[in-house]
């Protein structure tokens, strides 16, 4: 998959965990953005975030917050929705209305880490039902 923000940059697949708890994430080596499929989101825990911090990246490029983002997973040019998880008003995430994947910019990942992971994940998964 290509990065949503960086022109022509291929996301790198990183795996973390073991056995049934394995998490596969797609990371942009340039902007540090992360793509998460919904089933991967449910497996996130502290170990995930600790591991992420160990990943070395190149220079971070400034991102334009206003550009429209398209899902890297869906082929039809599906535009991502901006969502605010109920309990975390300051957090804005981009999610695909079709495949329910999530895009986390670098700063967003850090904010996610600063809140209760389980609460956040429950909140994100509940977005679906709120329509
Ligand atoms: Zn990128
Ligand atoms: Zn999608």
Of residues 30 and 89, the one with the higher pLDDT is 30
Confidence at residue 71, expressed as pLDDT on a 0 to 100 scale = 93
d(CA 69, CA 51): 26
* Mean pLDDT within 20-33: 81
Q: Report the separation in Å between the CA atom of 126 and the middle of ligand 2, taken as the mean of its atom positions.
A: 17
pLDDT tens sequence across 56-79: 444 444 455 567 889 998 977 899
Contact 114, 44 (CB under 8 A): no
Which of the ligands is closest to the CA of residue 104? 1
Contact 96, 63 (CB under 8 A): no
Where are the domains positioned within the chain? Answer: 12-130
Of residues 13 and 121, the one with the higher pLDDT is 13
Q: Report the separation in Å between the CA atom of 111 and the middle of ligand 1, taken as the mean of its atom positions.
A: 18
pTM of the complete model: 0.68
pLDDT tens sequence across 79-129: 988 776 655 556 667 888 888 888 888 766 666 665 555 556 666 666 555
Neighbours of ion ligand 1 (CB under 5 A): 3, 5-6, 28, 30-31, 33
């Amino acid at each position: 998959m290509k990065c949503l923000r960086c022109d022509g940059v291929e996301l790198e697949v990183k795996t973390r965990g073991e056995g049934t708890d394995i998490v596969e994430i797609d990371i942009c080596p340039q902007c540090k953005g992360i793509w998460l499929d919904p089933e991967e989101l449910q497996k996130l825990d502290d170990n995930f975030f600790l591991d992420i911090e160990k990943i070395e990246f190149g220079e971070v490029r400034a991102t334009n917050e206003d550009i429209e983002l398209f899902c890297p997973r869906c082929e039809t040019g599906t535009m991502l929705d901006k969502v605010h998880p109920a309990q975390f008003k300051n957090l804005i995430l981009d999610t695909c209305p079709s495949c329910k994947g999530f895009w986390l910019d670098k700063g967003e990942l850090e904010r996610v880490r600063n809140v209760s992971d389980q609460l956040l994940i429950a909140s994100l998964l509940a977005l679906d039902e709120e329509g």
